[in-house]
Amino acid sequence: MKKLCLLGATGSIGKSCVDIVNRFPEKFSIRYVSAHRNIEDLFALAQQFRPEIAVLSGTTVEAAWQTKFKRIGVKIESGVEALAELAGQSDYDLLVNAVVGAAGLQPTLSAIGQNKNVAIANKETLVTAGDLVTRLSRQKNVQLFPIDSEHSALWQCLVGEDPCSIERLILTASGGPFRELPASEFKNVTVEQALRHPNWAMGQKITIDSATLMNKGLEVIEAFWLFDVDLEDISVLIHPQSIIHSMIEFRDGSIKAQLGLPDMRVPIQYALSYPERIANDLPRMDFMQFSELTFMAPQTDKFKALNLAYHSLREAGTAPAVLNAANEEAVYAFLGKKIRFDQIPAFVEDALEKHSNHRDVTYESVLHADRWARRYVGEKII
């Protein structure tokens, strides 16, 4: 029985993870669990799984709810500190980090500090502090199991291969809902349109990131840290059907791809069960329904976010943390209808230009850069 600490259990990835746990109750259990604000859903999870501790990271827990949790014998705590402490518990097997945003960094570091392997959906952790996280993981002999479908695909393609034989990683991208929309129309894009992703049902932040292609930029950085390849050897390919989840070209010219229906439960299950593959009854792919798989180059002049991500990683130091924090602020401002869709990458670019880079990637320098970027963008938006 693998005992999980599941952070962000009420989100899109969190719910899919719960679905997998429900399918294999003899293999997985939830010992620790968190949500940010949704106390009702957190309580329902607590009733079902009876974890040791449940944490509500984003707000305090009212007395009436505290009584309810007490009645079912589940300790309830609140706040960001409690979230980091939860991940820093010693008696569980695998952290599943399904939190959204840079808030996922501190709990990831706590888990690594306790020598826990981390199944990581929270890509922002690796974007903001990939250097620090991978360094600590090596020191602690901890493994990072990617949940992001592209990175899970790359990880699966690497089974049985010598990582030195990689020539190129090819990250696929659907291109989002505005692949065909002229750039001149971007200023008129509404929140509702941007939230309509063609292939995946996901949380709001990543859905907007997919529409700007920042998501792919974040994933390039994520792949850089997870697979330790040169940035120039990571390429992006638009593949609107989202059937090929990513590919690796090896030095002999052979290419391996991982395919399947777009269903996050597959990579989540793999990260939970690794190195085992467990039989399941999730929907299977019917090739006759996908008689055409198509590919095209990303339109980087239309989707500026992709190059900004490459640029920040070339700058290194705290530049990727600034990219990420500025993007988070701009995305939430767009969702709050305070800025236009086409302004999202513009705010990120501006923040990257203005920030003074710290070469040394420590928790403190990353936190400082993250706060600076949020303040900078926040002040510009008001």
CA 109 – CA 99 distance, rounded (Å):
14
Residue 13 touches ligand NAD, criterion: CB under 6 A: yes
Q: Considering the rule CB under 6 A, would residue 87 count as an interface residue with ligand NAD? A: no
Tokens for 87? 């991940």
Joined tokens for residue 18: 């719960």
DSSP 357: P
Using the contact rule CB under 6 A, the part of the chain among 3-11, 128-136, 188-196, 221-229 near ligand NAD is 3-11
**Residue of closest CB approach to ligand NAD:** 11
C-alpha gyration radius of the chain:
20
Produce one character per residue of 345-370: b if its CB has 16 or more CB atoms within 10 Å, e if not: bebbbbbbeebebbeebeeebbbebb
Is 272 a residue that touches ligand NAD (CB under 6 A)?
no
209 counts as binding Mg ion under rule CB under 5 A: no
* CA–CA gap between residue 325 and residue 319 (Å, rounded): 10
Which among Mg ion, ligand NAD, none contacts residue 203 (Cβ within 5 to 8 A by kind)? ligand NAD
148 binds Mg ion (CB under 5 A): yes
Specify the residue, 30 or 120, whose C-beta has the smaller distance to Mg ion.
120
The entry of ligand NAD, Mg ion, none near residue 98 (CB within 5 to 8 angstroms by kind) is: ligand NAD
Q: Which of residues 22-61 bind ligand NAD (CB under 6 A)?
A: 35-36, 38, 57-58
* Alpha-carbon dihedral 238, 219, 209, 56, rounded to 10 degrees: 150
Q: Which amino acid is present at 224?
A: F
> Is residue 222 near Mg ion by the rule CB under 5 A?
no
Contacts 24+ apart (CB under 8 A), 196-199: 198/174, 198/240, 199/174, 199/241, 199/242, 199/262
- Gap between the Cα atoms of 245 and 243, Å rounded: 6
Number of residues engaging ligand NAD in binding (CB under 6 A): 29
Residue 374 makes contact with ligand NAD by CB under 6 A:
no
Q: Which stretch binds ligand NAD (CB under 6 A): 118-126, 138-146, 314-322, 333-341?
A: 118-126
Measured from the CB atom, the residue of 265 and 355 that comes closer to Mg ion is 265
* Residue 57 partner contact from Mg ion, ligand NAD, none using kind-dependent CB cut-offs of 5 to 8 Å: ligand NAD
Binding residues for ligand NAD (CB under 6 A): 8-14, 35-36, 38, 57-58, 83, 98-101, 103, 121-124, 148, 200, 202-203, 205-206, 264
